[in-house]
Chain A
């Protein structure tokens, strides 16, 4: 029970933080319940959001849906509160009382209220200027343009999420979920050790390269800020190409045009 409340509280706070959404929502619900003459609208726009909040917080329903939906995504029940219907409706209830220029002026004031209470989403630092129609980082495209098709590669974590969004003919040794290797005690196999070694600023090639070769990683791509203990040539790899940010190494046994993709049946 305590665990349920901890998760519910954390997720509820996370959903509504960063803007004055919750107070505005509750005020809107209160206004609808108070002023709306139509009982059906009162139910759909006033009682329904409260019922959704009740389902979210009431332990029997909460624990049930936490089990059905999953603890990590339990907060999605809060999507059932139609914020972009309820708040506008409440504001329009206020505006309905005015007419003519007074209504237009009140409308502008309400717009200002939303702006003041909210957070400008488009000003978020996470929006970056787009430099290509794929809308992925340009450094990914720079690397992909140099890599041949139909190869198996191990790449820097910065490239990992995007490489196959540009070219699916490249298979990767590690996907995003291979971050499991970062959990202590789970990287006791050679592949896990290779993954962890690739995260070091100074990479010991005696740990990384033999496993990479054994696993069929024809191409290795690392940030050019990395330094290496050992010589690539001693482990059967050589430098293939470079971009502004990355160095690409190739298995010396690789022949141009060879299909080295790794499929696991």
Chain B
């Protein structure tokens, strides 16, 4: 199993990193670092998946054809990233050159906590009631070669549930399972935590860097606090933070613990840097949120709308509101379609 975890992590983090460099080149984003590329690449993968998966599901395409098309798209984006070798080399050089800066008590504490969390989760299991539906949705996609025709809990053929048809996150790990020949249940429960937990904390690294640009010590401390809050403050199941530790494979957990903080990060950048680039990234992340959960279709525009409204009022500048609404357009369109489907 260690080999499968390692290979999946290599594919995910390597692929998303290279994809991130491709997008960075397109948007002319320089000197952002490797973690930035990984986060950006992950959002790009998921947004792309939503764009490909929704029409394919509606057209009753087979799962294997989805795997082929999506793999080709992801491979193309990743390979294009290889052409950015000069920027990759620069980022690596900067990382290696500045490594001592990150040798702080905060970073060390955060690293220890993350390693402990991963170790603990690797040796324990959490029986999530909803897995009966979601994990089986991935299992069924692989075994039946149908994306969403089979009722996952019993295996009977059924019309798809309109509540979930726009947010088929389990197909993401079904895709990974298909590539590595691992059962989707194993991919979700045993391998995915090794991808989702580090990814979530990478976002907190990026947020910390933005908030305390000149103080790496505080960046480390911010990260350590964030990790510890995930481990200690998550009193109840309903708290969004809880999902990252108990069920990091569940779509709504990815939404709460990864996508929403990423939206916040892009807004933070957009406000500080200006320019359209960050709003494009925000839009991409909104679309990624739609894949993770149908809640993402509603919560993303709500979060972005609320934030840009406050910023527009503070700055007395309607530009923020306009950019915010434009960046939520994919979510708004999907939201209207969702309402049409469900009401």
Least CB separation from A86: chain B residue:
B229
Residues in B with CB closer than 8 Å to A241 are: none
A107 interface neighbour in B105, B204, B264, Cβ under 8 Å: B105
Say if the beta carbon of A222 comes within 8 Å of chain B: no
A127 interface neighbour in B126, B136, B153, B255, Cβ under 8 Å: B126
Q: Give the Cβ gap from B101 to chain A, nearest Cβ, in Å.
A: 16
Residues in A with CB closer than 8 Å to B261 are: 82, 84-85
Residues in A with CB closer than 8 Å to B158 are: 264
Is there an interface contact between B125 and A89, defined as CB atoms closer than 8 Å? no
Residues in B with CB closer than 8 Å to A169 are: 143
Is there an interface contact between B310 and A43, defined as CB atoms closer than 8 Å? yes
Q: A44-B267, A134-B186 are in contact. Are A92 and B298 (CB under 8 A)?
A: no
Is there an interface contact between A95 and B139, defined as CB atoms closer than 8 Å? no
Q: Which one of A157-165, A181-189, A191-199 is at the B interface?
A: A157-165
A247 to B232, CA, bound (A): 42
Is there an interface contact between A14 and B189, defined as CB atoms closer than 8 Å? no
Is there an interface contact between B246 and A121, defined as CB atoms closer than 8 Å? yes
Say if the beta carbon of B268 comes within 8 Å of chain A: yes
Say if the beta carbon of B260 comes within 8 Å of chain A: yes
Is there an interface contact between B185 and A84, defined as CB atoms closer than 8 Å? no
The total of chain A residues at the interface (CB under 8 A) is 85
Q: Which one of A16-24, A203-211, A226-234, A249-257 is at the B interface?
A: A16-24
Q: 1/0 per position for A1-44, CB-CB distance to B under 8 A?
A: 00000000001001111110100100000000000000111011
The total of chain B residues at the interface (CB under 8 A) is 87
Task: Give residues in A with beta carbon < 8 Å to B.
Answer: 11, 14-19, 21, 24, 39-41, 43-44, 47-48, 51-52, 55, 65, 68-69, 73, 75-80, 82-85, 87-89, 91-92, 95-96, 103-104, 107, 110-111, 114-115, 117-122, 124, 126-130, 133-137, 160-162, 164-166, 168-177, 261-265
Could you list 15 further interchain pairs (A-B, Cβ under 8 angstroms) beyond the known A48-B310, A80-B303, A118-B228?
A15-B238, A48-B307, A77-B299, A84-B204, A85-B264, A88-B208, A96-B212, A96-B215, A104-B105, A122-B231, A126-B127, A133-B190, A135-B126, A165-B136, A168-B142
Top 6 closest pairs, chain A to chain B, by CB: A18-B235, A175-B153, A118-B232, A88-B225, A171-B155, A19-B235
Q: List 12 A-B contacts (CB under 8 A).
A: A78-B239, A82-B264, A83-B233, A84-B261, A117-B233, A118-B235, A119-B235, A127-B125, A127-B126, A130-B123, A130-B124, A165-B135
